[in-house]
């Protein structure tokens, strides 16, 4: 059974989820967020207006009682009721001023719920009260007490309680919490989707390795029979080349079988590994119809803990991409290593056609390819092998159209060497 049919997967360059439908979901979430905060603000403002109205009504009642209390004819019981029953119900600032908005003195008697520093001098305290009055004046109209001739006697300025500020900040706090939950949900959903996709590709890789294993074992047996039946030099040379190709297929099958498993890392000489893979590629580059030279500018040995089977894949993918990017009859691939103390950086530069900024942004994305053929998995697998299995980093250092591209791999050095 075909691997594609078994996993019921289309070619990865054709996504099942329409990008347009993703935009619909994002737009709906955005509109829902706007509706949520708008309704919260409207509802909260309604509550705030009711609280401020209640406080203003309480202030009017306070002015009436205060006026009665100020009357010399008021008895002691009236004063006690005012101080014990009315004043404790008021939890917002009040300052009584004269007709010119000057706070009446002594301040402690003609104000309520005003916090000032006890270390301030009297003149400094007066400035604080004047500032309070200016703040109150810009927020709410005062209640004005007049005599029978409409002459202004006193003005009662007030400012809303702390509860109003808390209510006003509530919808914004709720919106932040809402956005946080939406963000966490979106990240979790995206991570889950990536994990599921990763599981599918891991399953495909292992299935491919399993499917290749049986015919490869059979071919090896047939080759042994051919060796015994055809002992002449000509046939032995052909059989030897066939053995090399089957060995190569075994390497490919081994790589696929290790995807998704814990990679065994061993101390490896990076220079020797690059020499081996470069030599392998140099024999096959003439088949591309172009003369491409692989220049190794490595003057010493560097050791890292690697899984050779997987990391060989990294270099092969990068060499193959570099060779395909060279469209001229002659081209060069340069390989350089720089020591970074606890790590090394491997630079792979080609003299190919380069990449646009758009291609560069998506070059490591699964399924992204600029070729007519291919699944767009090469560089995606390369990044996974470097970063997930070897705790390294890989990125495009620079690329310019007509000038080529430079990839950089950073790997931790083997500390025991």
H or E segment and range at residue 294: strand 291-297
Whether pLDDT at 65 is above 80 = no
Strand 343-350 and strand 404-412: pairing? antiparallel
Is 341 contained in some domain? yes
1 pLDDT band, cuts 50/70/90, is: very low
Q: Residue 286 falls within a domain, yes or no?
A: yes
CATH code, domain with 370: 3.30.565.10
The residue among 139, 165, 191 that closes a domain is 165
**pLDDT bucket at 333, cuts 50 / 70 / 90:** very high
Q: Is residue 190 part of a domain?
A: no
**Is the per-residue pLDDT at 82 higher than 80?**
no
Q: How much is the average pLDDT of 112-120?
A: 83
Query: Among 330, 307, 333, 306, which Cα is nearest to 319's?
Result: 333
Same domain? 37 vs 151: yes
Task: Compute the distance between CA of residue 391 and CA of residue 305 in angstroms, rounded to an integer.
Answer: 10
pLDDT of residue 120: 85
Do the domain assignments include residue 49? Answer: yes
28 and 152 inside one domain: yes
pLDDT band (50, 70, 90) for residue 369: low
Task: State the pLDDT at residue 232.
Answer: 74
Helix (H, G, I), strand (E, B) or coil at 147: coil
Model confidence pLDDT, tens digit, residues 6-15: 444 444 444 4
d(CA 317, CA 252): 13
Confidence class of residue 186 from pLDDT cuts 50, 70 and 90? confident
Tokens at 278, concatenated: 């470069």
Q: Is the pLDDT of residue 27 over 50?
A: yes
Q: What is the pTM of this model?
A: 0.49
**392 and 275 co-located in one domain:** yes
Of 137, 165, 193, the position where a domain reaches its end is 165
Mean pLDDT to the nearest integer, 186-208: 63
- Domain-embedded: residue 353: yes
pLDDT confidence of residue 272: 93
Domain count, the chain: 2
| 364 phi, psi to nearest 5 deg | -95, 5
Instruction: Give yes or no: residues 33 and 155 share one domain.
Output: yes
Query: What mean pLDDT do residues 232-245 have?
Result: 74
267 and 126 part of one domain: no
Least confident range of 59-73, 93-107, 176-190, 311-325:
59-73
Residue 301 predicted with pLDDT over 80? yes
Cα distances from 40 to residues 160, 176, 185, in angstroms, run: 20, 12, 22
Q: What is the mean pLDDT of residues 264-282?
A: 88
**307 in a domain, yes or no?**
yes
Residue 316 falls inside a structural domain: yes
* Residue 189 within a domain: no
Instruction: Residue 280: give the domain boundaries.
Output: 263-412
């Amino acid at each position: 059974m075909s691997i594609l049919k078994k996993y019921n997967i289309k070619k990865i360059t054709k996504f099942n989820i329409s990008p347009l439908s993703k935009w619909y979901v994002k737009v709906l979430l955005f509109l829902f967020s706007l509706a949520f905060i708008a309704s919260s603000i409207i509802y909260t403002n309604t509550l705030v207006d009711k609280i401020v109205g209640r406080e203003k009504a309480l202030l009017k009642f306070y002015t009436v009682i205060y006026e009665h209390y100020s009357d010399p004819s008021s008895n002691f019981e009236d004063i006690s009721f005012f101080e014990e029953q009315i004043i404790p119900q008021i939890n917002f600032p009040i300052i009584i001023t004269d007709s010119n908005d000057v706070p009446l003195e002594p301040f402690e008697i003609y104000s309520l719920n005003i916090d000032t520093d006890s270390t301030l001098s009297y003149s400094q305290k007066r400035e604080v009260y004047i500032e309070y009055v200016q703040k109150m004046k810009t927020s709410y109209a005062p209640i004005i007490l007049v005599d029978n001739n409409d002459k202004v006697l006193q003005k009662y300025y007030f400012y809303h309680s702390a509860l109003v500020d808390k209510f006003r900040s509530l919808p914004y706090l709720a919106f932040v919490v809402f956005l946080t939950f939406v963000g966490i949900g979106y990240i979790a959903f995206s991570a889950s989707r990536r994990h599921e996709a990763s599981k599918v590709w891991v399953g495909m890789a292992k299935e491919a390795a399993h499917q290749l294993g049986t015919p490869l074992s059979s071919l090896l047996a047939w080759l042994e029979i051919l060796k015994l039946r055809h002992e002449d030099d000509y046939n032995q040379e052909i059989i030897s080349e066939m053995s090399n190709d089957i060995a190569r297929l075994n390497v490919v099958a081994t790589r696929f079988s290790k995807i998704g498993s814990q990679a065994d890392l061993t101390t490896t000489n990076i220079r020797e590994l690059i020499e081996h893979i470069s030599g392998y590629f140099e024999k096959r580059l003439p088949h591309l119809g172009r003369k491409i030279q692989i220049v190794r500018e490595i003057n010493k040995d560097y050791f890292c803990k690697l899984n050779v089977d997987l990391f060989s894949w990294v270099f092969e993918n990068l060499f193959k991409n570099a060779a395909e990017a060279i469209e001229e009859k002659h081209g060069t691939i340069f390989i350089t290593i720089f020591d970074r103390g606890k790590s090394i950086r491997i630079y792979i530069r080609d003299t190919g056609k380069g990449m646009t900024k758009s291609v560069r942004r998506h070059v490591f994305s699964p399924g992204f390819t600029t070729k007519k053929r291919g699944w767009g998995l090469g560089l995606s697998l390369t990044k996974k092998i470097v970063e997930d299995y070897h705790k390294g980093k890989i990125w495009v250092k620079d690329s310019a159209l007509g000038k080529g591209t430079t990839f950089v791999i950073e790997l931790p050095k083997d500390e025991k060497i």
